[in-house]
């Protein structure tokens, strides 16, 4: 067995985030080492010119300032496809027009409900910043598209239309949806009705527009074309659920991911997808046996800023 010496982190030698993650790798201990190793795998993935890359994540991150990091990844075209949940659109679109606020995990939820305030962890979202503004904006855009004769459209094409509609908004460049549209990066929602954005589409369909079809099969075609045209594939997966599973599910049809970085807070012992470590996906053929991969246990709102700042510095 090769013996690597555990080295102390020397703060006096850290000038950049890349310096920090390199020292984390050398520190040998616990999640710090995993952050360093994961940063290197992510860098290898991004610098591999033969590799097409997928970013998957849950909507909750978009309710926080971590939205800015995801936006920057899309703006810089670091990833070629996004797979996420409908709430990503809810939060991203709502925050263009309204503010979210600081709260705490220990607040009185009964009192918040009486005040019309929704709590997502320690983030507070008033009704006027969420359901009310989304109902107004989503319906407005759908009615315009319908009036132009749109009757059958994929989810990712519809999301591009929403991005296009933001062209005149002063906060557009803060939006993930806007940059997906600008850079023509498909955002795939495997469960498009599971959120306020999708529910507004359902209301529209129910309200005398039953010839309007959100065509999710076109989204699957887009993923299929992506997968089968790739020499290599890599993924940064944040959290589990449908976003993670759709990412690894499709990759099994090409022999598995070549690179995989997974950040999770879930335990492994309950058998859940969110808790399943990347090594388990090898048994299913969803990650290659010779892939570069790692699972990092921890809060993505803490880990992601460090890893992505390190990545950007390595690309200079």
Burial call 60-87: b when 16+ CB within 10 Å, e when fewer: bbbbbebbebbbebbbeebbbbbbbbbb
Residue 18 catalytic? no
CB 308 within 8 A of CB 22: no
Structure-block tokens of residue 148: 């132009």
Structure-block tokens of residue 29: 């201990």
User: Residue 217, class by beta-carbon neighbours within 10 Å (0-12 exposed, 13-18 middle, 19+ buried)?
Assistant: exposed
Count of CB atoms within 10 A of residue 235's CB?
A: 26
Among the residues of the chain, which ranges form H helices? 17-27, 30-47, 67-75, 87-97, 109-114, 131-147, 155-165, 176-182, 196-206, 216-228, 241-251, 278-283, 300-314
User: Which residue has 């699972």 as its token pair?
Assistant: 295
Structure-block tokens of residue 140: 């407005």
The one catalytic residue among 2, 114, 286, 316: 286
- Catalogue the active-site residues: 286
């Amino acid at each position: 067995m090769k013996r690597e010496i555990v080295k102390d982190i020397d703060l006096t030698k850290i000038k950049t985030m890349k310096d920090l993650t390199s020292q984390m790798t050398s520190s040998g201990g616990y999640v710090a080492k995993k952050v360093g190793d994961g940063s290197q795998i992510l860098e290898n993935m991004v610098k591999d010119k033969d590799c097409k890359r997928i970013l998957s994540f849950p909507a909750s991150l978009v309710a926080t300032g971590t939205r800015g990091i995801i936006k920057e990844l899309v703006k810089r075209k670091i990833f070629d496809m996004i797979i996420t949940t409908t709430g990503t659109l809810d939060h991203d679109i709502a925050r263009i027009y309204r503010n979210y606020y600081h709260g705490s995990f220990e607040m009185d939820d009964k009192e918040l409900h009486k005040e019309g305030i929704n709590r997502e962890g320690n983030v507070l979202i008033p009704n006027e910043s969420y359901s009310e503004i989304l109902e107004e904006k989503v319906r407005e855009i759908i009615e315009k598209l319908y009036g132009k004769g749109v009757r059958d459209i994929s989810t990712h094409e519809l999301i591009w239309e929403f991005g296009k509609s933001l062209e005149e908004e002063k906060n557009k460049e803060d939006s993930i949806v806007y940059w997906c549209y600008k850079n023509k990066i498909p955002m795939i929602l495997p469960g498009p009705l599971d959120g306020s954005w999708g529910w507004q589409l359902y209301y529209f369909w129910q309200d005398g527009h039953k010839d309007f079809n959100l065509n999710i099969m076109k989204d699957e075609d887009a993923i299929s074309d992506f997968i089968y045209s790739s020499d290599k594939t890599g993924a940064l997966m944040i959290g589990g659920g449908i976003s993670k599973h759709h990412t690894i599910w499709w990759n099994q049809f090409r022999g598995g991911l070549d690179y995989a970085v997974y950040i999770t807070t879930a335990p492994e012992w309950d058998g859940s997808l969110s808790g399943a470590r990347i090594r388990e996906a090898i048994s299913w053929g969803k990650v290659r046996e010779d892939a570069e991969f790692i699972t990092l246990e921890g809060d993505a709102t803490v880990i992601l800023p460090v890893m992505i700042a390190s990545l950007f510095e390595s690309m200079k």
